[in-house]
Amino acid sequence: AQSVTQLGSHVSVSEGALVLLRCNYSSSVPPYLFWYVQYPNQGLQLLLKYTSAATLVKGINGFEAEFKKSETSFHLTKPSAHMSDAAEYFCAVRGNQGGKLIFGQGTELSVKP
């Protein structure tokens, strides 16, 4: 069985500060991992995905994530937060069988001026 745990349902940072959103996964098979962002009243947009090609994955809007097998983690980072980054972020895992995404509970990111 696969699962995802996002540590912290709410993270607040100042504009220009480092953004770190934590995600730990559990999977009995090599996982595919995804980060999605959801802006208010919108659908989910893919930020980046890990498909075993490289452990450091770069995504859109300056975000990146590092796959660490030993820590079963896939944390999302951005060096400098912008006000426009305020949104809810979801980490998701997908295994080799079936196409469904298993989502974490989400982390709401607030950015203070």
User: Which residues contact other proteins by CB under 8 A?
Assistant: 32, 34, 36, 42-46, 49, 51, 90, 94-106
Question: Rounded to whole angstroms, how far apart are CA atoms 71 and 9?
Answer: 20
In the 8-state DSSP scheme, what is residue 42? Answer: S
Least distance (Å) from other proteins to the CB of residue 16?
30
Phi/psi region, residue 61 (left: phi>0; alpha: psi -120 to 50; beta: rest), is left
Which residue lies nearer to other proteins by CB, 99 or 113? 99
Which residue lies nearer to other proteins by CB, 2 or 81? 2
Least distance (Å) from other proteins to the CB of residue 49?
6
Least distance (Å) from other proteins to the CB of residue 93?
10
Question: Rounded to whole angstroms, how far apart are CA atoms 104 and 95?
Answer: 15
